[in-house]
Amino acid sequence: GYSASCWYAVLSGFPFGAWGEAAFITVQSTLLLFLFWCWTDGLDLRPRFLVLGGLPAMMMALLFVELPGGLVSLIGLSPAALFVFARLPQVVLNHRQGHTGQLAPVTFFLQLAGNAARVFTVLHDLGGDPVVLAQHGSAGLLNAIILA
């Protein structure tokens, strides 16, 4: 998700402040994944390293190829779709139970506050880019639904 958000922002020509955090999180997550692979017995590392090396090469190639605007938008919307599909089962479960169960409401409130801040910065710094607004708006909406 973070890598797609990062590449959408880079391909859209946004300033570093709009995508730098996602780039650092992508690098950190990749490093953790690499360490997990190295310390797990019985894994065949060759295909994993091939993918781990191939994805950055493919992403770098995207910088030098003119992609259709629709494809760039799909790259940017993919994290929103992943988040919605990951969060919907929790929303349905909470609705059936009538409460959040063991989930701390403060966590969802803080996430909602973060989404509101992101929406503000998108409106202010990125001129209201609809793809980035959809990313943070959908996350905020689902967090609000869980809180309700």
In this predicted model, what pLDDT tens digit does every residue of 96-142 receive, in sequence order?
888 777 778 888 899 999 999 999 989 998 889 999 999 999 999 98
Which two tokens mark 64?
Answer: 């030098």
CA pair distance 111, 65, nearest whole angstrom: 36
Residue 16's pLDDT is 92
Which amino acid makes up residue 91? Answer: V
Segment 70-87 mean pLDDT: 91
Residue 117's pLDDT is 93
What DSSP element (H or E) covers 70?
helix 69-97
Segment 2-30 mean pLDDT: 89
CB-based contact 119:133 (threshold 8 Å): yes
* Ramachandran angles phi, psi of 112, nearest 5°: -65, -40
Which two tokens mark 106?
Answer: 């403060």
Which two tokens mark 4?
Answer: 């797609």
Residue 48's pLDDT is 83
Sequence-distant (6+) residues with CB within 8 A of 94 are 100, 101, 103, 146
Would you place residue 85 in the very low, low, confident or very high pLDDT band (cuts 50, 70, 90)?
A: very high
The yes-or-no verdict on residue 39 having pLDDT over 90 is: no
Residue 135's pLDDT is 92
pTM reported for the whole predicted model: 0.78
Residue 47's pLDDT is 86
CA pair distance 146, 148, nearest whole angstrom: 6
